Amino acid sequence: MESLRIIETWPVPTAAAAVVRADGTLAGTHGPVSHRFPLASVTKPLAAYAALVAYEEGAIELDEPAGPAGATVRHLLAHTSGLAFDEHKVMAPPGERRLYSNAGFEELGDHIAKQSGIPFADYVRQAVFEPLGMTSSTLEGSPAKDGVSTVEDLAKFAAEVQAPQLLHPATVAEAMQVQYPGLKGVLPGYGHQNPNDWGLGFEIRGSKSPHWTGSSSSPRTFGHFGQSGTFLWIDPDAGLACVALTDRAFGPWAAEVWPVFTDSLLAEFTRS
């Protein structure tokens, strides 16, 4: 577990991390795993998973209209609705550009609430948090950025995504496939990427460079990072997932230490 101890060297007040294997078992943890951290955009995969539950329950369809004119649930999940980053303002026709959008996830939450008759925060709790035993997780506010959780809880989520129980594996597999291939756009914090691949609520590493995962991370690696200094990645080729939460905002420090940490984890845990 030497690689997990690297978080002790990070320039942050508090950090915790966990590694989860493909079969859902916990490979190791370090730090205060029950400490609640603001997730920022790591909220999005949780909201996306709730959307996929709504799809399987028949409350919504992925290709039904949602958000701005011409857009669908799929567009909102894949950041191709054309909505601006933090404004409910249309910047492009649906499906033409990868415009990372908090507003799009807020439209998604509103749409699911309307179609299901359940406030979205309650829907996430009932569809994801409660069934997975994520007792320390809450969403009060924006489905794009206002989640709060622990490493302990997010390790349960990482286990679910790798070995699905709440969703059919085919649904999860579709969510990890590139939606609207070939679109370029800005990866927040890392500049323009061509292509800028995304699945349904999860960012896909692909050939992006620079990137917040490791140099040894496979192109199929998917997940999300948050501006609050948080990340979750799943590398299906390595059969591993990692959750790391901190209480220092993302910045150059994270861009420097996160890839080194990920490479160390992959080297240690794929040997063991």
- Does 271 have pLDDT greater than 90? no
Q: Are 91 and 82 in contact (CB under 8 A)?
A: yes
Separation between Cα atoms, residue 251 and residue 122, nearest integer Å: 32
Q: Give me the CATH number covering residue 149.
A: 3.40.710.10
In whole angstroms, how far apart are CA 10 and each of 6, 62, 139, 226, 235? 7, 40, 27, 16, 23
Domain boundaries, position 241: 2-269
Residues with Cβ within 8 Å of residue 185, at least 6 apart in sequence: 79, 97, 98, 99, 100, 192, 193, 196
pLDDT average, residue stretch 94-98: 97
pTM over 0.95: yes
Span 224-234, pLDDT tens digits: 999 999 999 99
Closest to 160 measured CA to CA, from 188, 135, 133, 132: 132
- Does 246 have pLDDT greater than 90? yes
Q: What is the DSSP string of 207-233?
A: T-SS-SS-TTS-TT-EEEEETTTEEEE
Closest to 100 measured CA to CA, from 81, 121, 116, 79: 79
Average pLDDT, the chain: 97
Closest to 155 measured CA to CA, from 144, 163, 167: 163
R_g of the chain, CA atoms, integer Å = 17
Span 1-44, pLDDT tens digits: 799 999 999 999 999 999 999 999 999 999 999 999 999 999 99
Phi, psi of 236 (to 5 degrees): -65, -25
Span 81-92, pLDDT tens digits: 999 999 999 999
Separation between Cα atoms, residue 171 and residue 184, nearest integer Å: 25
pLDDT average, residue stretch 238-244: 98
Q: Are 20 and 26 in contact (CB under 8 A)?
A: yes
Split into its structural domains, the chain has a count of 1
**Kind and range of the H or E element at 23?**
none
pLDDT average, residue stretch 64-79: 98
Span 141-195, pLDDT tens digits: 999 999 999 999 999 999 999 999 999 999 999 999 999 999 999 999 999 999 9
CB atoms within 10 A of CB 235: 26
- Does 272 have pLDDT greater than 70? no
Phi, psi of 78 (to 5 degrees): -100, 10
One-letter identity of residue 231: F
